[in-house]
Amino acid sequence: MMIFGLTSSVFDYLEFGTLLLLLPGMIEQFMTGWFIESVISASMIVMVIRSRKPFFKSRPGKYLLIATGS
């Protein structure tokens, strides 16, 4: 959990810095970009931690795929 938390924090800081550089002074676009990045990363986390197997060796269930894809 420590490694996962640190990795997530590093990606959050990178995304935050990227958005600050690309969208200076555009508060609404920054907030939208941050929200979209958060939703995508949360969906990816669910796909990775859903099984004990490596995520690329097991397929998600139909309902999980629908829930994270929509």
Tokens representing 65 are: 């795929």
pLDDT averaged over 10-residue windows placed end to end, the chain, 70 residues: 79 86 84 86 80 78 78
Q: Let me know: does 44 contact 56? Beta carbons within 8 Å.
A: no
Q: Please indicate, yes or no, whether the overall pTM of this predicted structure exceeds 0.85.
A: no
Quote the pLDDT of residue 54.
77
Instruction: Enumerate residues 6+ apart whose C-beta is below 8 A from 6.
Output: none
Q: Let me know: does 23 contact 29? Beta carbons within 8 Å.
A: yes
Quote the pLDDT of residue 70.
57
In the block, which residue shows the tokens 């995520």?
55
Query: Distance between CA 14 and CA 36 in Å, rounded?
Result: 15
Query: Distance between CA 59 and CA 53 in Å, rounded?
Result: 10
